[in-house]
Amino acid sequence: MKKSAFIFLGGLTVSVIGCFLYYRELTLLGFINSSFIVGGILLFISLFGTVAQSGFFDAATYGMRRAFKINGKEMDKDEAQSIRPFSELVSFSVSPLLFASLALLGLMLIGLGIYYV
């Protein structure tokens, strides 16, 4: 929960700074736009991490290792299987990032509702 709060506050800070840098003032529309971009990037990273940890890319990376030569020599099956799969390389926890991005996008939706009412 602490990680999600820190990521959310960091994303909120980046959104406000981005609004100041791009629009030269803090407006509701500028905040909505910048928080959408930051929240979308965080959501994309967390969803990519989820897909990568599920093992979706393991078959593709295994096939690439078998198809290409490494340092000019062919790779046999045992060498290709001894290399760690991609899903084991992506080892960070995606749930705090996912919750923080959804909270930031929820705040953006609240701002959007205020803007259109």
16 has a pLDDT exceeding 70: yes
Mean pLDDT rounded to a whole number for the chain? 87
Alpha carbon distance 86, 112 (integer Å): 39
Of the two residues 57 and 17, the one the predictor is more confident about is 17
Q: In angstroms, rounded to a whole number, what is the distance separating the alpha carbons of residues 41 and 29?
A: 19
pLDDT of 30-45, one tens digit each? 999 999 999 999 999 9
Q: So what's the pLDDT on residue 60?
A: 80
Q: What is the pLDDT of residue 72?
A: 62
Number of compact structural domains in the chain: 1
Is pLDDT above 90 for 89? no
**pLDDT at position 71, please?**
62
Beta-bridge partner residues of 73 = 70
Among 92, 98, 1, residue whose Cα is nearest residue 40:
98
Q: pTM value?
A: 0.81
Higher pLDDT, 77 or 51: 51
Mean pLDDT throughout 62-90?
70
What is the number of alpha carbons within 13 Å of residue 33 lying toward its C-beta? 12
Domain holding 95, by residue range, is 2-116
